Structure 1
Amino acid sequence: MKVTDILPGSPCWAQLSVRDMDRAKQFYGQLFGWTAEADPDPQYGGYTMFLLDGVPAAAVAPLMNPQQPVMWLLSFATEGVDATCAAAQEAGAQVWMEPMEVGGLGRWALLSDPTGAPFAAWQAREFGGFGVVEEPGAFGWADLSTRDKDAAVAFYRTAFGWQVWPDPNYAMVGLADRMFGGIMQLGPDFPPEVPAHWNPFFVVPDVDAAAALAAELGGEVLHGPVDVEMENGPRVAVVPASPGWNIGGIRPEPGI
């Protein structure tokens, strides 16, 4: 569905940082049907918008330094980045990049939650974020994997006012009685070097076909395709195209 307004506190953007911009553009263009539109302003270093039928769906940017990991970064909408940073710090977050203006597009800050998972806060002006969600090729869900699920749940509930539908291993989260993601515990089967991280999932009409295509394009199916064991649960797959570079497919719910 087309997005006209994003509720403060909810996911509003997903940005991928990579070493090889051309490879990323080709991979996601073939996988999701995205077209790439680079910002011509040199101050943004080649920042490229991924468009789905001409509407913003995600973005890709080059790594800012060699030590930066290849990763997806989720942004959460806020009506005031400065106030959100203050509230997040009070709740235990670390602010890595203080609030700054991004041209006339909005105001942005980079943080990590108390369990170490990075995220951004975005105060929209000219650019609101996702122009489409919950359609094939668009953002559909977000998972946080962390070593301390309870601490993460408490933080996002305090900092963003999220509703939580608790479960021993996986807590679903959302706002205004609408779920948009979940928080899961990283168990001992995950290598200790795997950090806490957010992972966006993108909607596809057929997860098995999308996972097979991702493999043909050079990706490796890390998990799935598998049906999530819950009532009306989706079918998902997680495909890292390189270490730390994760994409996921999520089956549309009935009616989408």
Structure 2
Amino acid sequence: MYGAPCWVSLSTRDLPAAEEFYHAVLGWEWRVGKLGEQYRFASVNGVPVAGVSAVEAMGQTAVAWTPFFAVCSADETVARSQERGGTTAVGPISFPPGRAALLADRDGAVFGIWEGELVSGWEEWRRAAPVFVRLHTRHAFEAAIFYGEVLGWESAESGCCEVDYENEEVVLRSQGDVVARIHSGAVEAAPDPAIRPRWQIHFAVADVPACVRAARAHGGSAEYTGEGTEAAVLTDPDGARFFVSPRPAASPRPAA
């Protein structure tokens, strides 16, 4: 699973408001962990699924959702990113039981890396809060080369991710699951940050219309994407955007 998304984290200016909003919209429960009062862990049925940090605790980073990718070595990953034109915003710094860094690719899209034991097991995390991430970037193929070299996609080591090209998108799979997509079309210097290069977080939910209603009722906004599905883009009260889409039906198991 090295190179795959392993965690998602939100930076916000108002932790209590974020807790209330995401509890109402996604049903998350909250607790304080080893990282202190400025970081909250969200859980589903007792399984940690996401983190929320106060902006002050993360070096005044922008209000946004950020995906974190599992790596063998944070130091080596940061070095590979810098060698290929990426930048480092934070770290690597220690967060026992691991180390983390916040980076940006050559087009400015922000992502995180994590070295160490996962907060919850990868498969358990995927089941508790089905999520995939999509990079909206200037050129999907060039971005795939950057991330492939930095995160070790398609390497010969056991547990690494596989990359395919489908319908003009780069598709990343881990253990057969689609965990990320890279899509061309972002405008690097666009005045609207919603169309600049960025990573988007997509949560699979049981009831998209219910999430839309809850977001609007608790100080956020929501609109359907118009992509021929029930998917919607939601914005929390602090301005962080994320996507919700229908949870796929479980695939039937073959008869014995």
**Is the TM value for this pair above 0.5?**
yes
Are positions 1:20 and 2:14 aligned together?
A: yes
Q: Which amino acid in structure 1 is aligned with residue 36 of structure 2?
A: Y
Give the Cα separation in 1 of the matches to 2:18 and 2:115.
27
Q: CA deviation at 1:66?
A: 8.9
Q: CA deviation at 1:134?
A: 4.2
Contact 1:211 1:225 in 2 (8 A): no
Matches within 5 A, 1:167-206: 167=166, 169-187=168-186, 191-194=190-193, 195-206=196-207
Which residue, 130, 133, 138 being the options, matches 1:147?
A: 138
Higher helix share: 2
Q: Which amino acid in structure 2 is aligned with residue 68 of structure 1?
A: T
Give the Cα separation in 2 of the matches to 1:219 and 1:156.
32
Which residue, 99, 110, 116 being the options, matches 1:124?
A: 116
Are positions 1:96 and 2:79 aligned together?
A: no
Once structures 1 and 2 are overlaid, which stretch shifts more, 176-185 or 122-131? 122-131
Q: Which amino acid in structure 2 is aligned with residue 116 of structure 1?
A: G
Contact 1:222 1:240 in 2 (8 A): no
Q: Secondary structure at the match of 1:166?
A: strand
The number of residue pairs the alignment matches comes to 238
Give the Cα separation in 2 of the matches to 1:193 and 1:62.
24
Give deviations 1:123-150, integer Å, cap 9, x for gaps.
Answer: 1237356642245xx1421111223333
Contact 2:59 2:90 in 1 (8 A): no
Q: Secondary structure at the match of 1:215?
A: helix
Give the Cα separation in 1 of the matches to 2:14 and 2:42.
15
Q: Which amino acid in structure 2 is aligned with residue 238 of structure 1?
A: V
Q: Which amino acid in structure 1 is aligned with residue 109 of structure 2?
A: A
Give the Cα separation in 2 of the matches to 1:8 and 1:157.
11
Q: Which amino acid in structure 1 is aligned with residue 17 of structure 2?
A: R
Are positions 1:109 and 2:101 aligned together?
A: yes
Q: Which amino acid in structure 1 is aligned with residue 70 of structure 2?
A: A
Contact 1:205 1:251 in 2 (8 A): yes
Q: Which amino acid in structure 1 is aligned with residue 148 of structure 2?
A: R
Once structures 1 and 2 are overlaid, which stretch shifts more, 164-173 or 119-128? 164-173
Which residue, 76, 101, 105 being the options, matches 1:83?
A: 76
User: Which 5+ residue runs of structure 2 have no aligned equivalent?
Assistant: 154-160, 252-256
Residues 169, 216 of structure 1: alpha-carbon distance in 2 compared, 3 angstrom cutoff: farther
User: Which 5+ residue runs of structure 1 have no aligned equivalent?
Assistant: 1-6, 229-234
TM (normalized to structure 2)? 0.81
Contact 1:17 1:71 in 2 (8 A): yes
TM (normalized to structure 1)? 0.81
Q: CA deviation at 1:119?
A: 0.9
Contact 1:9 1:77 in 2 (8 A): yes
Q: CA deviation at 1:97?
A: 2.1
